[in-house]
Chains A and B, each alone.
Chain A
Amino acid sequence: DIQMTQSPSSLSASVGDRVTITCRASQGISNYLAWFQQKPGKAPKSLIYAASSLQSGVPSKFSGSGSGTDFTLTISSLQPEDFATYYCQQYNSYRWTFGQGTKVEIK
């Protein structure tokens, strides 16, 4: 199976900060990479697909980049509603795999 390594596992940031989360695949996955946001007690919400395409309705402060094995999620200006856990996911294979998650907390 393809392993996804996400970093950092947690970070503390202030409102207005720019935040970057990275994700590395154990083998090339082209651009079959998605990012999800999850808040406590809720289902994951899709933010980005195909590494850099924004889902409908997702604000443009979220952006993604990368291809092959290395990917990033950037939040340009952190707002209170953005404090959550973020996961990367590869869908190059039907056997999906996820990063271990990055918890974004308030500093």
Chain B
Amino acid sequence: QVQLVESGGGVVQPGGSLRLSCAASGFTFSSYGMHWVRQAPGKGLEWVAFIRYDGSNKYYADSVKGRFTISRDNSKNTLYLQMNSLRAEDTAVYYCAKDPGWHWGQGTLVTVSS
């Protein structure tokens, strides 16, 4: 069965960086686009970024464009989110999801605080 496991969350100071990973199994990872979605504490769901199956195209929410980079390693069945210049408003649980969205990971918490 499809399994997505995020890791890499933690506490980071404003202006800092963090890299999230999403390990995929149970499906042909290299055939599917992948998304990152986040949820701030007590708030709704916010789409963050998408990468096509082969990494050829990437799309970002305006709120993270220029600071976050989505990437993938199909040889390792792993999705990444490099987060730079982090702000307090980036504090959230970050989920990876397989396109078109039926399968999500359990999430990893990122806290940006001094």
Where the two chains meet, the residues of A that have a C-beta atom closer than 8 Å to any C-beta of B are 34, 36, 42-44, 46, 49, 55, 87, 89, 91, 94-101
Contacts and interface: CB of A to CB of B under 8 A. Distances in A.
- Which of A44, A96, A98, A101 has its CB near the most chain B CB atoms (within 10 A)? A96
Nearest to A89: B101
9 contacts: A36-B45, A46-B103, A89-B45, A91-B101, A95-B50, A96-B47, A97-B47, A98-B44, A98-B46
B93 to A, nearest CB: 8
Interface of B: 33, 35, 37, 44-47, 50, 59, 61, 95, 99-107
Contacts of A97: 47
Contacts of A95: 47, 50, 59, 61
Contacts, number: 51
Nearest to B105: A43
A46 B105 contact: no
Given A49-B100, A96-B50, A101-B44, 7 more contacts: A46-B104, A49-B102, A87-B44, A95-B59, A96-B101, A98-B44, A99-B44
Nearest to B107: A43
Given A55-B102, A95-B59, A96-B101, A43 B47 contact: no
